[in-house]
Amino acid sequence: MNHQHTDRVTPPRTDKLLFTPGPLTTSSTVKQAMLRDLGSRDAEFVEVVQGIRQRLLALAGVSQAAGYEAILMQGSGTFGIEALVSSVIPRDGKLLVIINGAYGKRIRDIAQRHGIETVTIEVAENTPAIPQQVSESLAGNNGITHVALVHCETSSGVLNPVQEIGAVVKGFQRTFIVDAMSSFGGIPLDVIESGIDYLAASANKCLEGVPGISFVIAKHAQLLASGDAARSVSLDLLAQWQGLENNGQFRFTPPTHVILALHQALLELDEEGGVAGRAKRYASNHATLLKGMRRMGLREYVPAESQSHIITTFLFPQDPKFKFEEFYQSLSDRGMVIYPGKLNEVDCFRIGNIGHLFENDIESLLNAIEATLTDMGVIISKQFANH
């Protein structure tokens, strides 16, 4: 009998389009990369892991030779953040968290759960962090050892001035931690220029991989100096790095299929022209989305000068006939998945521009939104059409 291998056949597209900040729409080739079983201690897998680590450093504009390390960690982006925060801040350390959304609050909550002394700066959810406030906080509190900032706050889409805040942190000789979950790979970011000591991100956002693996880019000297600060066994960042360096293997079972998908996703990022090429596509998606939404009279929450091209928050229409659950379900029935709002201050929903999406996909979403609002009988004031 002649057995034919069909692993590489691309199936007809049946998945909904995910206009979300991750998990997100992936290419068929990234999906197909997971159709292999590979031993976690096999030489081929070890080589794949090493290649991924080097590629991640290159995307950050650094290398091992320049004194930086890439540490892969099983789990979602939050696992990576918790591994980082709970591993590198000493027992007598103090963390300043800059908050303008849900993910800044999550860093604060993680730190407090681990008994880390924490102080915060909070600004409005549609407002970027203010470097002067960071400077004043550090000047008034000599005990602060680490500062944490979310680069792109996914709950709103606001982009924080990481380079300016990094300069303030370095001026006070403190350690700078950056959550770059929804920006890494989709917004150019120079780790050295921004004074970043630790950066955390995950596979399933701008890298266009699948959920299940996060990573930390760390200064080698800082990582070694963290010593026995880790407050967890499985999330011990230094021990994880030592395991990868000793034999190329994870200390505990790695998500092999997820890592194979990430490897393929990184190859496709290179083919697209790296971070600059991907950022260009995402920016085009964003421009198309804004033009169409404004044409319909829908208004974004974050001012244009502070808005990233990753995800955009839109205010609910004022018409009482607008019900988000109905709106969401109708779009989902049409094959389009958006995100509910994650803000305390306003009623809103979010639309992501990232993932394996293109301008024609954005146009399809806009058509679906217009049809849905018409079906709902929602009337929107056109006063914002030229906003």
Residue pair 121/129 in contact (Cβ under 8 Å)? The answer is: yes
Cβ neighbours of 65 (radius 10 Å) = 7
Q: List CB contacts of 174: < 8 A, sequence separation 6 or more.
A: 96, 138, 144, 145, 146, 147
pTM of the model: 0.92
Superfamily for the 274-384 domain: Aspartate Aminotransferase, domain 1 (3.90.1150.10)
Give the CATH number of domain 28-270: 3.40.640.10
d(CA 342, CA 101): 8
- Report which of 346, 261, 364, 231 is spatially closest to residue 300, judged by C-alpha positions: 346
Quote the pLDDT of residue 382. 59
Residue with tokens 């790296």: 274
Which two structure tokens, joined as six digits, stand for 293? 């939404």
The predicted structure's pLDDT at residue 8: 38
Distance in angstroms (rounded) separating the CA atoms of residues 44 and 140? 52
Which residues lie closer than 8 Å to 347 by C-beta, 6 or more apart?
Answer: 315, 316, 324, 341
Contact 84, 235 (CB under 8 A): no
pLDDT value, residue 75:
96
Alpha helix positions (H), the chain: 28-32, 43-59, 77-88, 102-113, 131-139, 162-171, 220-225, 237-247, 256-271, 274-295, 324-333, 359-376
> What's the confidence (pLDDT) of residue 119?
98
Does this chain's domain 28-270 share its CATH topology with 274-384? no
The 8-class DSSP code of residue 225 comes to H
Query: For residues 96 and 121, what is the distance between their CA atoms, to the nearest angstrom?
Result: 8
CB 114 within 8 A of CB 121: no
pLDDT by residue for the chain (387 residues), tens only, comes to 444 433 433 344 579 999 998 899 999 999 999 999 999 999 999 999 999 999 999 999 999 999 999 999 999 999 999 999 999 999 999 999 999 999 999 999 999 999 999 999 999 999 999 999 999 999 999 999 999 999 999 889 999 999 999 999 999 999 999 999 999 999 999 999 999 999 999 999 999 999 999 999 999 999 999 999 999 999 999 999 999 999 999 999 999 999 999 999 999 999 999 999 999 999 999 999 999 999 999 999 999 999 999 999 999 999 999 999 999 999 999 999 999 887 767 899 999 999 999 999 999 999 999 999 999 999 886 544 444
CA 197 vs CA 38, 71, 139, 226: distances in Å: 33, 13, 20, 12
Name the residue ranges covered by the structural domains of the chain. 28-270, 274-384
Backbone φ/ψ region at 227: left (φ over 0), alpha (ψ -120 to 50), beta: left
